Chains A and B, each alone.
Chain A
Amino acid sequence: MRNVFAIVRKELLQYFTTSVAYWVFAVFSLVTSFFFIRILTFFQRSIMLNSQMRPQMLQYMNFTDQVLAPLFYNAAVILIFVAPFLTMRLIAEERRARTFDLLLTNPVTPFQIALGKYLASLVVLLVMVLLTLVYPLLVSAYAEVGAVAWSTVFTGLLGIFLLGASFTAIGMFVSSLTQSQVVAAFLTFLVLLLLWVVGWAGADNAGLAREILTGLSAIEHIRGFAKGVIDLKDLAYYASLIGLGLFFTHRSIETLRWR
């Protein structure tokens, strides 16, 4: 375990000295804040409209479900674009700079290497996800008590974190397949994009095909979390992606020694 922490520390040091982490934070916050303002403005406008036209509708309007839930959904989509940059360096760069030999010739196991790198990317991801907390905090500072349903906020953040954790697991594996960070980022992006659009294909179908295709879509599994529902099948979905990503990265590091 100490070896794992040594690798986590080194990776975090690199995330912050190369300022990759800061860029990722900045871009993620910038885009989520853009969506937040848009969704909030839309929400305000519908309140005004409803209060004039259909006052009875007002009791159904609720900030958490109509602003935060779509915001979380959007944040999930943004992750598709941000996650590849978080993971592209992890193994590809070590191979290119020949530092991978340093890890292979010291008493650390391939699994410790994979786990250490993965945990470091999770730390950066966690900070990034927690930055989203600023929106409900802002609103609760100005709105009346009870406007923000905090339990829903936290399940939503948990959902985004799990989704991001699946994306980084996939990204780390892809990063182990090439020596080029650009190729790693691009391939990861393609895979994540596929995991998103497969849900659209699901919507075009009916019956079993629809079930399977939407079931495969990484983004569809966030809907429950965004509404404050933790469903076992969503947890199982993300857990399997994370498990598979780590497993394949481990195998990939093993085979790297043979080349």
Chain B
Amino acid sequence: MIEVTNLVKRYRDLVAVDGISFKVEKGEVLGFLGPNGAGKTTTMRILTGASPATSGKALVAGFDVFEQPLEVKRRVGYLPEQPPLYDDLDTRSYLQFVARIKGLRGEKQKNEIERVIAACNLESVRRRRLGELSKGFRQRVGLAQALLGDPEVLILDEPTIGLDPNQIVEVRTLIQKLAEKHTVILSTHYLPEVIQLCKRVVIVHRGRIAANDTLENLTAGGRSLEQTFYDLTQQ
């Protein structure tokens, strides 16, 4: 579903991503880990078409991100690190706008908006200005936006950050449900989340792949994921 080959991203004198390659199969939830500044967000921004790579190739849902960006964008839902909300709009008009630029019209648009409002528990803030919402709600509106149109691929950059423990459980359950039909790349710093949701994990460190393996292998021999993560990202 997603195939990344030798991806490189350079900013002037800084190499943010230094030849990353990995694959994600259809219906898989990939845990995308790494310390801050390892190149996770940059990689995800490239996959969603927000920013072009310096070199390398990325295929999403069979389309090349650089050759056919619009086809890729139609099939990817993206929740960036900071949810992209217009503070002056209310939840409903915001979701309406996103649904429109995703090409959803008429009945379908209405149904989709109702579906994501229900899925992300936003009923109570439907008419509230986004600027007034608490961090947890903002995060969930951001997630709702990514789910609109039921895209095949979901790229979620720290989706549970800023949520309270109850909300974290809700969002995890939601992602687990999504995992049945969707391909998900999940970046997070909460390792228990990875253990609960992901079968395979990619760990990046300083722009390179430090590990690309199943969760089982990474935690083999009674090692904790924390220990593995620490060992791989210390040098």
Point out residues on A near B: beta carbons under 8 Å: 2-3, 6-7, 9-10, 13-14, 17-18, 97-109, 257-259
Contacts and interface: CB of A to CB of B under 8 A. Distances in A.
11 contacts: A2-B105, A3-B100, A6-B100, A6-B101, A9-B100, A17-B129, A99-B86, A102-B98, A104-B50, A105-B49, A107-B73
A106 B87 contact: no
Interface string B42-83: 000100111110000000000000000010011010101010
Interface string B146-170: 0000000000000000000000000
B50, B73, B82, B129: most-surrounded residue (chain A CB, <10 A): B50
A102 B145 contact: yes
B97 A6 contact: yes
B97 A9 contact: yes
A232 to B, nearest CB: 38
B89 A103 contact: no
Nearest to A102: B84
Contacts of B105: 2
B126 interface: no
A193 B101 CA distance: 37
B214 to A, nearest CB: 29
B87 to A, nearest CB: 7
B102 A106 contact: yes
Contacts of B129: 17
7 smallest CB-CB distances across A and B, nearest first, come from A6-B100, A102-B84, A105-B48, A107-B73, A99-B84, A10-B97, A17-B88
A3 B52 contact: no
Contacts of B133: none
Contact of B52 (A2, A105, A107, A258): A258
Contacts of A17: 88-89, 129
A13 B100 contact: no
A107 B82 contact: no
A65 B47 CA distance: 61
A10 B86 contact: yes
B219 interface: no
A107 B88 contact: no
B86, B87, B105, B145: most-surrounded residue (chain A CB, <10 A): B86
Given A102-B98, A102-B145, A106-B98, A10 B49 contact: no
B51 A98 contact: no
Contacts of B50: 101, 104-105, 257
B45, B51, B85: most-surrounded residue (chain A CB, <10 A): B51
Contact of A98 (B78, B82, B98, B100): B82
A102 B101 CA distance: 10
Given A3-B101, A105-B73, A257 B51 contact: yes
A105 B82 CA distance: 14
A14 B89 contact: yes
Contacts of A102: 80, 84, 98, 145
